[in-house]
Every structure is written in C-alpha cells, then in structure tokens.
Chain A
C-alpha cells in the first residue's frame, strides 16, 4: 500500500535554512505536495512537484525529488518565526486521493 514517512519534529534557528525530508513508497506517484498547517488553521498548499521533475524553486522554497530513492525534501531558506507550523508531505498515486505523511512540526529558535 501507499505510505509516506517524515520526521515528526525539526528545530532550527531563525535565519538558518530548514530542510524537511519525506520518503514515499508508491512508485506510480504522479504529483508530490507540500502543505503547511498553522495552529488552528486549515491546510495551505505550499508547492507541488510533478514526478518527472528533479527540482522546483519558488522564492524561499526549494523542492528536491529523488525518484529513484523515492525521497522528497523541502528547503526553506532564511527561516522566519512565521514559518513555524506543521509541514505535510503528500503523494497522489494511482488512486485519486492524497496520502499524507504524519507531518513535521517545524520549531523556530530565536
């Protein structure tokens, strides 16, 4: 079955880069997503990458995809206090719905 794994917590200093990692099992995944959830809020789509791409950059966000290793990462440059949230990796595989990882809590140290 489909499975998505990510670390539960990441702590970084303000101004440093944050790298959140994710692994997935479904080799038929077409799109891979990163969502952000702030406390008490809904799911905000940060970025997505199509499975035939290796990298996607959008302002402070860089997504890297290693399809061979089924590894996805999200790099946030110059991490700010407003980046504090839960970040979910998700894949869209053969079935239509998204399979989510358990979410990485990003903690920003001043």
Chain B
C-alpha cells in the first residue's frame, strides 16, 4: 500500500547510457514531481507536472525528460548519462492543497 513508489531503488550505469526511473502514486493526486538530491544532500526540484502543464526548472539539462502515461505515473528518462548525474532522485506527488505532499523513497543513480 505504498503511496509513492519508485523503481529501481539503485541504478548503476555507464556514462553515455540512457536510463529511466519509474514512479507511481496511488493517492489520486493531480500533480507529480521529480527532485534531485546531490552528494551534499541539497534538494532541488526538477519538474512539476499535472495533466495540463509541465513546469521545468530551467537549470535541468534537456537530456532529462519526464514522461507521464497517465495521472498516476511520472517516469524520468535520462539520455547520455554523465558522471555529474549521479545523485538520489525523488519522485513526489501532491493534491491541490498543500498538506499532502508525499515523497517516494528515492532512486540512487550512480554513473561510472
């Protein structure tokens, strides 16, 4: 009955590869997000998405793209992976009001 689930939990891959991280929420929330947590534990939003609008943080390289097959899923695709992409990526979802913001358990991506 996990509210926001991400797979895989760990991902180790070589530079230049393309990879995806999947996220699913069963909370019926309208909006989903991707956040990146770097090695210093700093958290930054990458994308905010609902069925009407995609908001992209302008600092995110266009190698990163969110894909939403339906309201309950927001997958993160990363092309041409670089060493600096190594981080923990968190998926989250929220209802229209602010008191139900829920995070997944994170995906630790290591690029070698």
A-side residues, CB < 8 A to B, are 30-31, 33, 35, 37, 41-43, 45, 48, 50, 86, 88, 92, 95-100, 102-103
Contact = CB atoms under 8 A, between A and B. Distances in A.
A4 to B, nearest CB: 10
Chain A, interface SS category: strand
B101 A37 contact: no
A110 B104 CA distance: 32
Nearest to A96: B48
Nearest to B91: A42
The 3 closest A-B pairs by CB, nearest first: A31-B98, A97-B45, A42-B105
Contacts of A88: 43
A42 B90 contact: yes
- Sorting the interface of chain B by its residue count into under 10, 10 to 19, 20 to 34 or 35 or more gives 20 to 34
Interface of B: 31, 33, 35, 40-45, 48, 55, 90, 92, 94, 98-99, 101-106
A102 to B, nearest CB: 5
Contacts of A103: 41-43
Question: Among the interface residues B31, B44, B45, which one has the most CB atoms of the partner chain A within 10 A?
Answer: B45
Nearest to A30: B98
Contacts of A31: 98-99, 101
Given A99-B45, A103-B42, 5 more contacts: A33-B101, A48-B101, A50-B98, A103-B41, A103-B43
Contacts of B92: 98
B32 to A, nearest CB: 10
